[in-house]
Amino acid sequence: MKIGFCGAAKAYTNLQYKSYLKDIIDMDKAALSWLNNINAETWARHLFDNEIKVEKVTFKLAESLNS
């Protein structure tokens, strides 16, 4: 699951993003419902403003799940 979420968050294109979302759906449909309640523009790199994109994406969410 973590790989699917990280991949979706780091995807540069909508096509890559959708591919990772499909992987998430295959693992857990409830997880996709949860993600859909969060504005993807706040966590999905392909939707970030091109003027402020950076290469590094950090995951405070992943850190909190590991605690």
- Is the predicted pLDDT of residue 67 greater than 60, yes or no? no
CA distance 34 to 47: 18
Pull the structure tokens for residue 63.
């850190």
Q: Which residue has the tokens 């909508």?
A: 14
- Global pTM reads 0.67
Render pLDDT for 24-46 as a digit per residue (tens, 0 to 9). 999 998 988 888 899 998 888 88
pLDDT at position 45 is 86
Q: What percent of the chain has pLDDT over 70?
A: 75
> What was the pLDDT predicted at 36?
87
pLDDT for 4 equals 84
